[in-house]
Amino acid sequence: MKEIPRGTLQEQTFYEQVGGEETFRRLVHRFYQGVAGDPLLRPMYPEEDLGPAEERLVLFLIQYWGGPRTYSENRGHPRLRMRHAPFTVDRAAHDAWLRHMRDAVDGLGLAPEHERQLWDYLTYAAASMVNAAG
């Protein structure tokens, strides 16, 4: 029986398959470029500089998709719903978030199966953050 070399596609995490840290940094940077000018979403970020929020999302997504666990090492368990509880996340915020994320995902040029897997997660995550009617 022939041995499969280490590092083949089957052994790689999603993080590795899509290009690692650089891909997630591009995704999140483009997303926050949209957020910066969005009248609904921008007020949810109290910091004048979106850089810290951008870095937190990059590290979270890297960890979620199989990369380094820097997010948890720095911030503990993600607790996404708890961290978003102070903000009113209604259907309009959900839709705006997904609109900017769709643009960012489309800008990556991922293989269709990777794009679909990433988008499925992002739509699930956005729906699970909704905490208000409207």
pLDDT of residue 50: 95
Extents of the domains making up the chain: 16-129
Domain 16-129, CATH 1.10.490.10 — does that match? yes
C-alpha dihedral (39, 79, 60, 34), degrees to nearest 10: -10
Q: Indicate the range of 62-66, 81-85, 111-115, 128-132 predicted with least confidence.
A: 81-85
Each residue's pLDDT tens digit, 8-61: 556 899 999 999 999 999 999 999 999 999 999 999 888 889 999 999 999 999
User: Any alpha helices (H) in 37-78, and if so which ranges?
Assistant: 51-64, 70-75
Q: Is the pLDDT of residue 7 over 60?
A: no
Angstrom distance (rounded) from CA 17 to CA 9: 7
Distance CA 39, CA 57 (A): 20
